[in-house]
Amino acid sequence: MGHNKGFFLTKPEIRPQGGSKPGPEGTEVCERLAYYGISKSLVTYLSTRLHEGNVSAARNFTTWQGTCYLTPLIGATLADSYWGKYRTIAVFSTIYFLGMSALTLSASVPSFQPPQCVGSICPQPTLSQYLLYFVGLYMIALGAGGIKPCVSSFGADQFDDTDPVEKAKKGAFFNWFYFCINIGSLISGTVLIWVQENCGYSIGFGIPTFFIALAIGSFFIGSDIYRFQIPGGSPLTRACQVVVAATHKRKTDLPVDSSLLYELDGKTSAIEGSRKLEHSSEFSFLDKAAVILWNECDGPRNSWRLCTVTQVEELKILLRMFPIWATGIVFFTVCAQNSSMFIEQGMTLDNQIGPFKIPAATLSSLDVISVVVWVPIYERLVVPIARRFSGKERGFSELQRMGIGLFVSTVAVAVAALVEINRLQVAVAEDLVHQKVPVPMSILWQAPQYLLVGVGEVFTSIGQAEFFYNQSPDAMRSLCSAFALVTVSLGSYLSSFILSLVSYFTTRNGQLGWIPDNLNEGHLDRFFWLIAGLSSLNFLVFIYYAQQYKCKIASVA
């Protein structure tokens, strides 16, 4: 593995190959195991153990879940600006472990729980009981904020981009990393939930606590062979400096020769831990920040008046990436249907499969199973076939891969609409329109839409992670990963917003609306077609910006 001076701090005597070392992947697997083990049972725990009402429990769940996808901005900023990824993962993993320990303690010690309900009388928890649980819960949210945006980019840092073999392995790393995440989700959604319901929450919380401790130990074991990227200072400050400098020089003419713009001599970048970036012609107004005025030729440089080309290009990269980032919001709006309207649809179908009854929410695990099955298929079958046609080492570019996933996710929600049309026809044929009962149509009709969403994730989610890592500035990789995670949260918010609009406009003048309490009287199919139409439009917007996108060109350190 190459040793890039000024870009990475490494131990020259050790040459890790292909990122095959303990630590980063295991940390994220265990974090996902713990996260889903808590999130899938959180409402139940709040209702049965802390005696909260349904509305309060649901509100606490959504608030906590939203926090888990916003705290990555904190962890990423610390990693890129001050601590570096390694120290950030170490510190926030410890916070995560302490949070899990607090939850386990809360569920294990009787004095930390309110007494059980007697009939309809349910004693409320004391302030100390309430605080112990929620302090632990939000320590986990904070801990996730340091792990999620850093682990994938830290793992990818272990590969040398100048080595063709290792560069190809880095693409495979993102596939297997996402595979491991979904393995953690699958285990927690099946085994861990069963343990919690049948053996108690003390054991159900204790198991992921143990695995988090194991992951931390594994992570530290590999410390001597990791490659460490030097933090480059505050990305926000650097972006503001470019805007301020360009605005200050707005009346200054740009030189015809871009080589006259300010940049340090040699291979060393002014940004710690970053390679130099070559000048691009887009957003030329920002280039004025790098114009050297006569009074700036001598003396110390004022960073708020004169910026390097690399610093300007950092901001340009973010602006180029923004439309691609925005299309991810609609993609995760489609994914959000897995845990909302797909389940609502499933509750109106016959869930009797042989001798078993399949809860509608359980069928959503097909999404995870689809990911677990498709990652090896993609890596072992799709990539070699695509390589023959495209000539690309990884078969598809990151943008091509994301585009395929966006198309597949659009098909998935269209399939859901077709299933709903068929379901409504069965309701009419069986004279069940005005009865709030499941129709005699198997819930397995939903399987294709869940499986297709999983395929879409394999292409778009993994492609997105790889794209943001490869195309982001070297000193901003954690922050860009965090922004990618924010699209998950924004996708859920957009889904809720669309539902609110649909409810408002379709229930005016006393109408039942598309999504009434009795779905047999509604038109859920129209909602799915609306989402499919929005996803199709999003797909076209993505194609336009993907064709316009110019990849970054970094110097060889």
Of the residues 189, 222, 255, which one is the last residue of a structural domain? 222
For 337, the domain range is: 314-548
Do 379 and 452 have their domain in common?
yes
Higher pLDDT, 525 or 58: 525
DSSP string, 346-400: HTTEE-EETTEE--TTGGGHHHHHHHHHHHHHIIIIIHHHHHHHH--TTSS-HHH
Do 152 and 285 have their domain in common?
no
pLDDT single digits (tens) 464-492? 988 998 898 888 888 888 888 889 888 88
Helix (H, G, I), strand (E, B) or coil at 277: strand
Percentage with pLDDT > 90 across the chain: 38
Of the listed ranges 48-57, 112-121, 349-358, 520-529, the least confidently predicted one is 48-57
Q: Does residue 1 form part of some domain?
A: no
**Residue with the two structure tokens 């009287």:** 521
Asked whether the beta carbons of 541 and 329 are under 8 A apart, the reply is no
Instruction: Give the pLDDT score at 539.
Output: 97
Distance CA 498, CA 492 (A): 10
Do 379 and 425 have their domain in common?
yes
Of the residues 172, 193, 222, which one is the last residue of a structural domain? 222
Of the residues 313, 339, 361, which one is the last residue of a structural domain? 313
The amino acid that residue 349 corresponds to is L
Do 186 and 60 have their domain in common?
yes
C-alpha angle with apex 178: 140 to 189, nearest 5 degrees? Answer: 55
Burial of 276 (0-12, 13-18, 19+ CB in 10 A): buried
Do 516 and 370 have their domain in common?
yes
pLDDT single digits (tens) 192-232? 888 888 888 899 899 989 988 988 888 888 778 888 877 87
Determine the distance from the C-alpha atom of residue 218 to the mean position of all C-alpha atoms in its chain, rounded to a whole number. 24
Packing angle of the helix pair 54-68, 127-157 (nearest 10 deg): 30
- What's the CATH code of the domain at 182? 1.20.1250.20
Do 275 and 342 have their domain in common?
no
Determine the distance from the C-alpha atom of residue 255 to the mean position of all C-alpha atoms in its chain, rounded to a whole number. 42
Instruction: Give the pLDDT score at 243.
Output: 95
Do 267 and 125 have their domain in common?
no
Do 461 and 527 have their domain in common?
yes
pLDDT single digits (tens) 496-524? 889 889 988 988 887 888 988 888 999 99
Q: Does residue 15 form part of some domain?
A: no
What do you get for the CA distance between the two ends of the chain, in Å? 13
Q: Does residue 43 form part of some domain?
A: yes
Is residue 445 pLDDT above 60, yes or no?
yes
Do 127 and 272 have their domain in common?
no
Q: Does residue 229 form part of some domain?
A: no
Do 440 and 484 have their domain in common?
yes
Q: Does residue 500 form part of some domain?
A: yes
Q: What is the mean pLDDT of residues 159-165?
A: 74
Q: Which residues partner with 475 through β-bridges?
A: none
Burial of 437 (0-12, 13-18, 19+ CB in 10 A): exposed
Q: Does residue 207 form part of some domain?
A: yes
Query: In the chain, what are the helix, strand and coil shares in percent, each to the nearest 5?
Result: 70, 5, 25
**φ and ψ of 353, to 5 deg:** -115, 100
Q: Does residue 6 form part of some domain?
A: no
Radius of gyration of the chain (CA): 26
Instruction: Give the pLDDT score at 11.
Output: 35
Do 327 and 471 have their domain in common?
yes
Do 343 and 281 have their domain in common?
no
Q: Does residue 19 form part of some domain?
A: no
For the chain, what is the domain count?
3
Distances (CA, A) of 223 to 144, 291, 474, 523: 21, 43, 21, 56
Is residue 301 pLDDT above 90, yes or no?
no
Distance CA 538, CA 403 (A): 10
